Chains A and B, each alone.
Chain A
């Protein structure tokens, strides 16, 4: 077999491969991206719930101390922060659901592949 530095490669295919590869965008992917999505989702959910609960309790205290009556202006700020907290919670829950679902689907796929292989070996062996 020939020396590989002076290769016998099909140059047109290699050029095509070079073009294809240069179009690929490396994302610098790291191991277990799902785990990061899950963790981020968990953090967002906790922070969001915190915002919502704190806003809820602060609403009760948002009254004018001089007149002793509730002030609608203070309420609006707290309602906005409560809604912000709820949005964070919702986004976090969606991220947790997506990563869990992906993990489950991957497990299901691996199981299917494994069963196919087992079946093939059984059929060939019989």
Chain B
């Protein structure tokens, strides 16, 4: 189905945020349009995860605005944003390691989606999870854990999905497999904001990309242009 929307689904305007009295973000502006895959790239410590924290309501900005579909949501609690359709898969996957795969999926029925439906959707997307359904999540491989985390996120039928370091600690072949899923989701119309340190895979599926350095977005543009400038930016040459 095709729709034309004037408002960005997620917009950050002049965000200054940090931890305690220390600012990590120094005026971040970004816009994720409906159906867009937006890749936020940058080295360790650039402020990417903090940006996701602000966008998902977990970190309150010191100044600036967070807008969802043009509506300011500063101060709205993360759980209310999650119920509305904002979903974050954190770095480290955010699964319950001491619960089985099936139990982890059951924990994501808080949004009101029946357990059977959650399970069917998860197993259709990632058949490997069905084979491991009774296995403790903590004993899954890194890739399988990421699959489980994605299944849990998608079972809530999010409007915007935020992924923090999807590829971290995973073998290239698994990363490729996961990004194929991301591409499928994007084709289905889901808006996705991906934060990555290693850019190659994500630039293959993104519509727009940005380079973040020292708490500021240095450059925004099409993925191919960003790819050319990335090395220079990481090395502090731009």
Measuring CB to CB, which residues of chain A are less than 8 angstroms from any residue of chain B?
1-14, 16-18, 20-33, 116-117, 119-120, 123-124
- For residue B61, which residues in chain A have a CB less than 8 angstroms away from its CB? 30-31
Contact of B92 with A17 in the complex, beta carbons under 8 Å: no
* With A20-B85, A24-B84, A31-B61 as contacts: A4 and B75 at CB distance below 8 Å: no
Pair B187/A31 contact, Cβ less than 8 Å: no
Q: How far is the CA of A22 from the CA of B18 in the complex (A)?
A: 27
**CA of A32 to CA of B80 in the docked complex: distance in angstroms?**
19
Output the residue of A24, A30, A119 with the most chain B CB within 10 A. Answer: A24
Determine the chain A residues whose CB is within 8 A of the CB of B85 once the complex forms. Answer: 13, 16-17, 20-21
Q: A4-B35, A7-B4, A13-B159 are in contact. List 15 more A-B contacts (CB 8 A).
A: A6-B4, A7-B2, A8-B188, A9-B189, A9-B190, A17-B68, A21-B68, A22-B69, A24-B71, A24-B76, A29-B75, A29-B76, A31-B60, A31-B61, A31-B62
Residues of B participating in the A interface, judged by any CB pair closer than 8 Å: 1-5, 9, 17-18, 20, 33-37, 59-62, 68-69, 71-76, 80-81, 83-85, 92-93, 95-98, 136-142, 145, 157, 159-160, 183, 186-191, 205, 207-208
User: What are the residues of chain B within 8 A of A2 when measuring CB–CB?
Assistant: 35, 207
CB neighbours of B69 from chain A (8 A): 14, 17-18, 21-22
Identify B157's interface contact among A13, A119, A123, CB under 8 A.
A13
In the complex, the answer to whether B71 meets A8 with C-beta atoms within 8 Å is: no
CB-CB under 8 A for A6 and B138, given A29-B60, A31-B61: no
Residues of A near B2 (CB, < 8 A) are 6-8, 11
Instruction: Flag if A120 contacts B97 (CB, 8 Å).
Output: yes
State in angstroms the CA–CA spacing of A97 and B141 once bound together: 43
Known A-B contacts A1-B187, A26-B75; the reply to A124 vs B138 at CB < 8 A is yes
B36 with A4: CB separation less than 8 A: yes
Task: Flag if A17 contacts B205 (CB, 8 Å).
Answer: no
Q: Is the CB of B139 within 8 A of A123?
A: yes
In the complex, what's the smallest C-beta–C-beta distance from B8 to chain A, in angstroms? 9
Q: Which one, B1, B3, B142, B160, contacts A124 given CB within 8 A? A: B142
Tell me whether chain B's interface is mostly helix, strand or loop, or mixed. loop
User: How far, in angstroms, from A3 to B187 measured CA to CA in the complex?
Assistant: 11
A9 adjacent to B97 (CB under 8 Å): no
Residues A27 and B207 in contact in the complex (CB < 8 Å), given A13-B159, A123-B97: no
Q: Which 7 A-B residue pairs are closest in the complex by CB-CB distance? A: A29-B75, A7-B35, A27-B75, A17-B159, A4-B36, A11-B3, A20-B84
A11: B residues at CB distance < 8 A: 1-3
Distance A120 CA – B96 CA, assembled complex (angstroms): 9
A126 to B73 Cα, complex, angstroms: 43
- Complex Cα gap A32–B98 (Å): 32
Question: For A10, A16, A21, A123, which residue has the most chain B Cβ atoms within 10 angstroms?
Answer: A21
Pull 28 A–B residue pairs with CB atoms less than 8 Å apart, ordered by A: A3-B207, A4-B207, A6-B2, A7-B2, A7-B36, A8-B35, A9-B3, A10-B189, A13-B85, A13-B189, A14-B5, A14-B69, A14-B159, A16-B85, A17-B85, A20-B85, A21-B68, A24-B73, A24-B81, A26-B73, A32-B60, A116-B96, A116-B97, A117-B92, A119-B97, A123-B97, A123-B138, A123-B139
